[in-house]
Chains A and B, each alone.
Chain A
Amino acid sequence: MVSSTRASGTAEALRRFARQRGAVVAEAFLLALAVAAVLAPHIMPANPLAQDLGAILSKPSAAHPLGTDDLGRDVLARIVYGARLSLAASLMAVGIAALLGVPFGLLAGYAGGWIDDAVMRVNDALQTIPALVLAMAIAATLGPGLFNVMVAVGVIFAPRFARLVRGQALAVREEAFVESARAVGATHSRIVWRHVFPNLLSPILVQVSISIAFALLAETSLSFLGVGIRPPEASWGADVGRGYRFMRRAPWLVFMPGMAVLLTTLAFNFVGDGVRTALDPRQRYARGRDLA
């Protein structure tokens, strides 16, 4: 039923999204941030890596609108460039989460039986270990680097996708039409493709938009703890971590990048809520573990 009205469904969804002011403003902010991040070399005169050992920890001034850090590097430049790392990390982490979670969820829901049992038990176990702890262990194990952090964060969000997809696949499997489709010779993959997937798209999209905010928080927390740093690149979490020791002399080192994280996470949250409302108005006040 969704497939036939999909085209108009999208337009309707977009309209519902546009009606929410918070989400629209947030979306605009994110787009601006993304553009700034991509165009950083062209719009930022200062080099985030350029050290000036004679001017460390200097206050905001004309030359450095947000001051300099503990090696004399321009804080504003580091925040703008840091956006690249953080945005890329969170997007890709969620991508990895979906890539890992969706197939397993499909497998579990569709195949059922002991496979379902096994996959869901592993899923539960993964969600039982506190998220940050697991991510930290994985990232530290794999070693420093952006990719490893993304994998670690991806792994902790994968169970949510798996559970979501499994539910959908399970529901479809129960339908009578599957029996008849099999009777006329439809392969499993065809059934999955034509009947399971279409219903999955919007829940997955909702889950993606909700997860990005938390993925960003997770990645910055890991960088703050010192796991996964790849100096001397600019990274919001790592910059806050490094600035902590100088809080008395230069509080802006902690305050500014932290503010960037806060605003971006907030924006992602608003957009996520907006997407959720747009795609599923009945679920307006959603609750429960799955969509957390």
Chain B
Amino acid sequence: MTGFLGRRLLAVVPLLLIVTAIVFSLILLLPGDAAIALVGMDNASEETIAAIRTRFGLDQPLYVQYGRWLGRALHGDLGVSIRTNEPVLGAILDRLPITLGLAIAATAVGVVIGVPLAVIAAHRGGLVDTLARGTASLGVAMPNFWLGGLLVMVVALELRWLPATGYVGFTDDPVDALRHFALPTITLGASAIAEVTRQLRSGLLDTLATDYIRTARAKGLGEQAVVSRHALRNALIPLVTIAALTVNRIIGATVVVESIFALPGLGRLNLESVLNRDFPTLQGSVLVMALIVIAINLVSDVAYGVVDPRIRYR
């Protein structure tokens, strides 16, 4: 088992290197001059700009910049934001809990509602199945920004049950924090539910059609037992994968949702750094997001390996 884990971990390293290289080379294409971003709109002399350029090492060739950045990153130093002069890692860590919390909450919603829905749909078939399939299709097709807007319009503006935007820390006021988190979680959770339902349902149906299930039925086991004991257990294996996939997709979607609900999370930081040409922050935040995705994939692979021994010997 440790060998398996070790091998998976080792495989992560080159992946990470390539991810960082991709992110770094992207910045190459940025036409804006980041040094000017620091000085602001007021007229600055060429000397001031040159001084800032040197200070941030923007005048070095790209591979030197990359090497330096990588070296520092390994020590946990992701540089300093060009806009705020604050350490990038600090800014990211401040916002990470919000995004992670949101992603996990939404995935939890997806699993908690999606699994029973998929089971019922696969089990009963007929109208329930069609409804579940329809809802799932709708959920997958629904744009986040539309659902979010709808929820804000109806729940926050008309009914005034929940606040429309903003963030309140859990330590400050847990109840109010939950209220502010409700709508964003529902928005993201909707697509999570749809994903989970769709994937799990098809997985279940597939398994239900296989031979050994037919054998189980032939043995005389009730339909309930067939579904819950055999089909579900086998379909749960891909659920780990599905959950991992869902979290990955949601992490990307937080950019839109955090924007709509004014949550100061990692997704929003990402968007701002893109719009502000703040490339140290952009590199840092994309790296951290990729790290999260890799970590989740690793966990799901390991879990997969635990559940299904066949995988371990690959």
Q: Do chains A and B touch in the complex (CB under 8 A)?
A: yes
- Produce 1/0 per residue, B194-208, CB < 8 A to A: 000001001101100
Chain A hits for B313, CB < 8 A: none
Chain A interface, number of residues (Cβ within 8 angstroms):
51
Given contacts A286-B202, A287-B206, contact A130 B251 (CB under 8 A): yes
Contact B15 A121 (CB under 8 A): yes
8 nearest A-B pairs in the assembled complex, by CB-CB distance: A130-B252, A258-B146, A265-B141, A125-B18, A285-B202, A132-B252, A266-B141, A254-B149
- Report which A residues bind B (CB closer than 8 A): 121-122, 124-126, 128-134, 136-138, 140-143, 213, 217, 220-221, 224-227, 237, 240-241, 244, 247-248, 251, 254-255, 258-259, 261-262, 265-266, 268-270, 285-289, 292
Flag whether B53 is at the interface (Cβ < 8 A).
Answer: no
**Residue among B146, B238, B248 making CB contact with A240, cutoff 8 Å:** B146
Residue of B nearest to A142 (CB): B29
Q: How far is the CB of B202 from chain A (nearest CB, A)?
A: 4
- Produce 1/0 per residue, B11-25, CB < 8 A to A: 000110011001100
Which residues, 158 to 213 on B, are CB-close (under 8 Å) to A? Answer: 199, 202-203, 205-206
Contact B290 A137 (CB under 8 A): no
Q: How far is the CB of B249 from chain A (nearest CB, A)?
A: 7
Q: How far is the CB of B251 from chain A (nearest CB, A)?
A: 5
Question: Is chain B's binding surface mostly helix, strand, loop or mixed?
Answer: helix
Given contacts A121-B14, A221-B256, A255-B149, contact A262 B143 (CB under 8 A): yes
Bound Cα distance A227, B289 (Å): 20
Contact B143 A221 (CB under 8 A): yes
Q: How far is the CB of B13 from chain A (nearest CB, A)?
A: 11
Chain B hits for A132, CB < 8 A: 252-253, 255-256
Given contacts A128-B290, A285-B206, contact A251 B153 (CB under 8 A): yes
Flag whether B30 is at the interface (Cβ < 8 A).
Answer: yes
A-B contact pairs, 6 of them (CB 8 A): A129-B286, A130-B289, A137-B274, A140-B275, A220-B143, A262-B138
Chain A hits for B271, CB < 8 A: 136, 225
Residue of B nearest to A251 (CB): B153
Q: How far is the CB of A109 from chain B (nearest CB, A)?
A: 19
**Residue among A133, A240, A270 making CB contact with B289, cutoff 8 Å:** A133
Contact B140 A285 (CB under 8 A): no
Flag whether B69 is at the interface (Cβ < 8 A).
Answer: no
Q: How far is the CB of A124 from chain B (nearest CB, A)?
A: 6
Bound Cα distance A255, B145 (Å): 10
Q: How far is the CB of A249 from chain B (nearest CB, A)?
A: 11
Q: How far is the CB of A66 from chain B (nearest CB, A)?
A: 15
**Residue among A121, A136, A137, A220 making CB contact with B18, cutoff 8 Å:** A121
Chain A hits for B248, CB < 8 A: 130
Chain B hits for A240, CB < 8 A: 143, 145-146, 149
Given contacts A254-B149, A258-B145, A266-B137, contact A141 B206 (CB under 8 A): no
Which residues, 131 to 152 on B, are CB-close (under 8 Å) to A? Answer: 137-138, 140-146, 149-150, 152
Residue of B nearest to A268 (CB): B141
Bound Cα distance A163, B56 (Å): 39
Given contacts A125-B22, A137-B282, contact A259 B30 (CB under 8 A): no
Flag whether B236 is at the interface (Cβ < 8 A).
Answer: no
Flag whether B245 is at the interface (Cβ < 8 A).
Answer: yes
Bound Cα distance A244, B260 (Å): 9
Contact A287 B203 (CB under 8 A): yes
**Residue among B19, B256, B259 making CB contact with A129, cutoff 8 Å:** B19
Tell me which of A129, A225, A241, A288 has the highest count of chain B C-beta atoms within 10 A of its own C-beta: A129
- Produce 1/0 per residue, B267-306, CB < 8 A to A: 1001100110000001000100110011001000000000
